Structure 1
Amino acid sequence: MPYPPRLAHLATRSVVVAKLVPTYSRAHHLDEEEAAQRLSLALRGTLLPALLDTAWTAMKGKTKRLDDEGLLEKVATTLKDRPQRPGRVVDVTPGWSAFLVLADLEAGTASDAARRVMESPEGRQRGQAGVVEVGAFLAAELTRGR
């Protein structure tokens, strides 16, 4: 696990869900409660560690003046008062679309056709690019505080 264990303690599944729900619900035309349930289900498997890994990589790449502990303190400070603060809504790009399909697959709401597409080499590549893009978004959300 390349990201520090403390990151997983700070950016829990419910925190990550809160950051992703606005975009997920808008993209799927769902109310936020249903979107949160689906995302929570999707993040029970390997998708959450993958997001935290790419978010940590993005955070480390963005700052040169903070060491690991300083970066974790910045995340803790950001989440201190309102850890469930919803993330910003972003325009859905091809990367976000691929991530959303992965989330739907993990939640069990995607079609068999979507599963077959994401199991192809190109689908796996797009899915990984989507996780990286959403991880960068998550990194920005987790460090946008003070």
Structure 2
Amino acid sequence: MPYPPRLAHLATRAVVVAKLMPTYAQAHNIDEEEASQRLSTALAGRMLPTLLDAAWDAIRGKAKRLTDDGLLEKVAATLGDRPLRPGKVATLNPAWSAFLVLADLEVGTAGDAARRVMETEEGRRRGAEGVAEVGRFLAAELTRGK
């Protein structure tokens, strides 16, 4: 099921960038400003809706008792006063690495070899696993708190 429109109003590109930036910065050994700029560019296209779909699936999967409206209220309450608070640094694994390569491809910082690998069937599978993993991370970031 696609994510509800309200989720995109709550989890804007700026919010998603803030949640993913610490992990991206650490993984690439760059400063937070550079990481934010790159992520913002990567999420300007089709990657943000795909990531929000994965996050919504994860949010719905872990909270069986709440309705969709209740889940959205939980996200709104979590973001509350500080929607741009940076997320936690995630523990990197192969799925996260695949997502980071996809983000780098969107930004244009990954090489042709990475593009060729991600265009293979195995690369597409790993990329999908990466988006799902980061979607679960984002879901946790969007629903922790109040």
TM-score bucket of the superposed structures, by smaller chain: over 0.9
Aligned 1:1-146 pairs, distance under 5 A:
2-146=2-146
Structure 1 residue 64: Cα displacement: 1.0
**Alpha-carbon offset, residue 51 of structure 1:** 0.6
Q: Match of 1:26, SS?
A: helix
Per-residue CA deviations over 1:14-71 (Å, capped at 9, x if unaligned) read: 0000000000000000000000000000001111001100100000000111000000
Q: How far apart, in 1, do the equivalents of 2:82 and 2:36 lie? A: 17
The CA deviation at 1:90 is: 1.3
Q: Which SS does the other structure have where 2:92 is aligned?
A: coil
- Quick one: distance in 1 between partners of 2:35 and 2:94? 20
**Deviation beyond 2 Å, 4+ runs, structure 1:** none
Alignment RMSD (CA, Å): 0.7
TM-score normalised to structure 2 length:
0.99
Query: What is the percent sequence identity of the aligned residues?
Result: 74
* Amino acid in the other structure paired with 2:55: A
TM-score normalised per structure 1: 0.99
**Alpha-carbon distance in 1 for matches of 2:128, 2:75:** 24
Alignment coverage as a number of residue pairs: 146
Shift, 1:80, TM fit: 1.1
- TM superposition shift of 1:145: 1.3
